[in-house]
């Protein structure tokens, strides 16, 4: 087992009373804060990819500064997050649903699911992080569980499907979406050195 020492800064935060107001944060912010914390405690390097933008027009003012004056959002060809943890390649997409009862499959782009299929084939750890906002539950869903449903043309996955095929991701003040704890449990269990 590797020990991940908390730094002073982290300890100071941990000593504060739990502030449930954080729970209202968008999933993306919670994941970014989690990734920043993982980096801070020297555990993993996982980043959100920038949104791809097609640049049409740029004004160059000085050598250092350039102002983009016309550009458009592009559809990402992969998922939003990837990185490295204990030598393994991690790749995931994160989505929120405001439904209590099910997740519409259309909130995940087909090309993102195809990308996750490739990641599995090349030996990476591929998953989704799905938050049921109203229920305040965030699930880790292995991509190899969701791909058969997608291939079968399923239009939505009921909440119960997540309790059966996913894992509830623990919430902590400093690690708001502690997905690495789930990965430790399900992917690394036979790989302790």
The binding site for its own copies (CB under 8 A) comprises: 39, 42, 44-45, 47, 49-53, 55, 65-73, 77-78, 82-91, 115, 118-119, 121-124
CB of 101 to its own copies, least distance (A): 26
| CA-based end-to-end distance of the chain | 7
CB of 63 to its own copies, least distance (A): 13
CB of 176 to its own copies, least distance (A): 20
Q: Which is nearer to its own copies, 19 or 60 (CB)?
A: 60
Q: Which is nearer to its own copies, 23 or 111 (CB)?
A: 111
Q: Which is nearer to its own copies, 61 or 98 (CB)?
A: 61
- CA atoms of 118 and 112, how far apart (whole Å): 10
Query: Other CB atoms closer than 10 Å to residue 14's CB: what's the count?
Result: 12
Token duo for residue 100: 């209590």
Of residues 77, 57, 75, the one with CA closest to residue 67: 57
CB of 160 to its own copies, least distance (A): 32
- CA atoms of 13 and 172, how far apart (whole Å): 11
CB of 142 to its own copies, least distance (A): 16
Write the CA distances from 110 to 47, 100, 106, 135, integer angstroms.
22, 23, 8, 26
Instruction: Fill in the DSSP letter of residue 101.
Output: S
Q: Which is nearer to its own copies, 90 or 94 (CB)?
A: 90
Phi, psi (5° rounding) for residue 131? -105, 125
CB of 193 to its own copies, least distance (A): 11
Burial of 152 (0-12, 13-18, 19+ CB in 10 A): exposed
Q: Which is nearer to its own copies, 72 or 152 (CB)?
A: 72
Q: Which is nearer to its own copies, 34 or 78 (CB)?
A: 78
């Amino acid at each position: 087992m590797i020990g991940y020492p908390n730094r002073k800064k982290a300890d100071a935060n941990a000593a504060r009373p739990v502030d449930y107001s954080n729970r209202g944060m968008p999933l993306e912010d919670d994941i970014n804060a989690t990734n920043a914390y993982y980096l801070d405690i020297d555990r993993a390097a996982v980043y959100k990819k920038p949104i791809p933008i097609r640049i049409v027009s740029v004004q160059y003012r000085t050598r250092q500064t350039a102002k983009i004056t016309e550009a458009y959002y592009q559809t990402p060809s992969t998922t939003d997050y990837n990185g490295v943890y204990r030598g393994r390649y991690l790749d995931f997409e994160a989505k929120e649903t405001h439904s209590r009862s099910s997740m519409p499959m259309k909130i995940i782009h087909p090309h993102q699911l195809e990308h996750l299929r490739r990641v599995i084939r090349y030996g990476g750890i591929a998953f989704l992080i799905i938050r049921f906002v109203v229920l305040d539950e965030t699930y880790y869903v292995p991509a190899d569980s969701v791909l058969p449903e997608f291939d079968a043309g399923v239009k939505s996955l009921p909440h119960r499907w997540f309790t059966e095929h996913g894992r509830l991701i623990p919430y902590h003040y400093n690690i708001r979406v502690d997905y690495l704890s789930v990965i430790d449990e399900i992917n690394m269990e036979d790989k302790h050195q």
